[in-house]
Structure 1
Amino acid sequence: MDEATGRRRIPFYKMHGGGNDFILIDHCHHFLPEAEQPKFARQVCAAKVGVGADGLILLETSPQADIAWRFYNADGSEAEMCGNGARCAARFAVLNGLAGPRLTLSTLAGIIQAEVHDRQVRVAMTGVGDFRLHVDIPLNDRTLQGHFLKVGVPHVVVLSADLEKVPLKQWGKQIRFHPLFQPRGTNANFLLLKGPHSLEVRTYERGVEDETLACGTGAVAAALIAARLGHVTSPVMVHTRGGEVLAVSFQDQGSTITDVTLEGEALVVYQGELWMDELK
């Protein structure tokens, strides 16, 4: 509360990983009631009338980890995991003295480990599994072959020979809400192979309901599916729509894939204050 004006103001950071952008708030004192958080996420993530972002991250205390989060997509839905969001959350925690450079973060997908080296952040991914390869996905005018897996959240990966010719919003939306992946739906990724350690990916993100400039879990999903299909080996450099290259490393044990990490820059754009009484 600003004592001079009586206005409620909340400090925040605007951060991004590869153009996947987030609003981050220190919520260790729990001043936002849980029932109001989805609406708050929609308000602050809205372009033009809010800050504008792909998601909202509230950092809180945790009895099991150094820090915990509540992660909300721009539509107010709560997500189990977000790779780029986790990288931004880890750096935010270090910058604000909430944790040291080697930290643990409690998410709905489990507790993940992170290492922060200035702007560079590496996170160990959790909840990887449930591979389903060669799934036929009937769309309105064609059938695509996709490959499903979970990286904390569900992903479908479709190989493409030309990413620029993919009608991403059209196909991505149909895959995201397809009956095959209900009730939670899925993220939709389209990947182009570039070499034995390199690929490019475009992602339609669940909860954002549009293409994002980068998706951390999508980058991991694309790399792991490409590895399962025999096209790449670790480490894999994943080129995102935002221009950043994310490094995905893993141990391929044949029947299982372990020790999955995602690494890249987590950047601060600016700090500011939200005027709570004037949010629409």
Structure 2
Amino acid sequence: MPLSFYKYQGTGNDFVMIDNRKLTFPADDEQLVKSLCNRRTGIGADGLILLQDHPDYDFEMVYFNADGRLGSMCGNGARCTVRFAKQLGVIEDVAYFLAADGEHQANIERNQIQLKMGDVTSVEQIGEDYYLNTGSPHYVRFVDEVQELDVYAEGRAVRYNGRFKAEGTNVNFVERLSDNDIYVRTYERGVEDETLSCGTGVTACALVAGLEGAQSPVSVKTPGGNLQVTFERHGAGFRYIYLIGPAKLVFSGTMPIQEKV
């Protein structure tokens, strides 16, 4: 049967978006999701997102990693879903929606999506590195000359070490560009490679920069584009966290899929 889809990207982090308000997509078919995200034989994406109805919210966002498995919160994906919801006429310029880590609110201002992230109650320090959850787990390491780093090898070494191997973690490498400007590259679990940008990762890195003296807002450069994170320190953590950046439609189409028997 033909599958209608839309391809969106937020600072180079790209997603297959599907309007699943009629619940017709076989969400339990991991192999199908994986094949749709395949860059050689499918549509190609870092993940797949279903937009679904919810009785208490404007919509529900259901996110799958490129490996076909149900994922945790995805910040860039959420901004793309908000833009997709506006395209479908589900919302105007404000959204209240449900994601894997709970409820979120977002505002659309011209080309920018301002996404309210969940509060972060604590940050763990591991040697000179940090570990925190911004809807997804993130390991943060400051480095020099991040553009020269082998992110795949270095990130994989952390993601598959003794502590993180079972659950997995995203691994971020950060270079300070100035007091309130950083450059971030991320190895994402589920994709098992570097992506051009990671919204929850950018958020985590900006918050850690805040622990080390940066002031809100923090401007973040990624290989896929620029984002901004605002926040307020609160005890050992942070609140009023916003991830701000663009989300764009790339193309749409249909493709035949075989239903799982």
Give the TM bin, normalised by the shorter chain.
Answer: over 0.9
Tell me the CA shift for residue 181 of structure 1. 2.7
Paired AA for residue 60 in structure 1: Q
- Which range is displaced more, 98-107 or 148-157? 98-107
Q: Report what 2:194 is aligned to.
A: 211
Question: 135, 140, 159: which one pairs with 2:142?
Answer: 159
Which residues of 2 match residues 22-101 of structure 1 at below 5 A? 22-36=15-29, 38-101=30-93
- Output the CA distance in 2 between the equivalents of 1:204 and 1:228: 22
Structure 1 runs of 4+ off > 6 angstroms? none
Deviation at 1:255, TM superposition (A): 2.9
Residue matched to 1:252: 233
Q: Is 1:237 matched with 2:216? A: no
Alpha-carbon displacement from aligned partner over 1:99-144 (angstroms, at most 9, x marks no partner) = 22201121110011011234321100115334101x14xxxxxxxx
The residue that corresponds to 1:188 in the other structure is: 171
Shift of 1:47: 1.0
CA RMSD of aligned residues (A): 1.6
Secondary structure at the counterpart of residue 201 of structure 2: helix
Q: What letter matches 1:87 in structure 2?
A: R
**Runs of at least 5 residues in structure 1 that lack an aligned partner in the other structure:** 1-7, 137-144
2:114 paired with 1:122: yes
Q: Give the deviation of 1:32 after TM superposition.
A: 2.1
Residues 127 and 152 in structure 1, CA contact (< 8 A), matched pair in contact too: no
2:160 is aligned to 177
Q: String of CA shifts for 1:173-230, please: whole Å, max 9, x gaps.
A: 1111222235311100000001121100000001110000000011101100111122
CA–CA distance in 2 between the matches of 1:80 and 1:127? 15
1:86, CA displacement in angstroms? 0.2
1:18 to 11, 16, 41: 11
8 Å CA contact retained: 1:176, 1:206: yes
Deviations 1:74-101 (CA, angstroms, capped at 9, x unpaired): 0012112000000000000011112222
Q: Residue deviations 1:21-69, cap 9 Å, x none?
A: 0010100011123322x22210100012100000000100112211002
Give the equivalent residue in structure 2 for 1:5: none
1:108 to 1:14, Cα distance in 2 relative to 1, 3 A: same
Percent of aligned pairs with the same residue? Answer: 37
Letter in 1 for 2:196: L
If the length of structure 1 is used for normalisation, what is the TM-score? 0.89
Deviation at 1:164, TM superposition (A): 2.7
Query: Is there any run of 5+ residues in structure 2 with no aligned partner, and where?
Result: none
Of structures 1 and 2, the larger Rg is shown by 1
Give the secondary structure class of the aligned counterpart of 1:181.
coil
CA contact (8 A) 2:119 2:240 kept: no
Contact 1:248 1:262 in 2 (8 A): yes
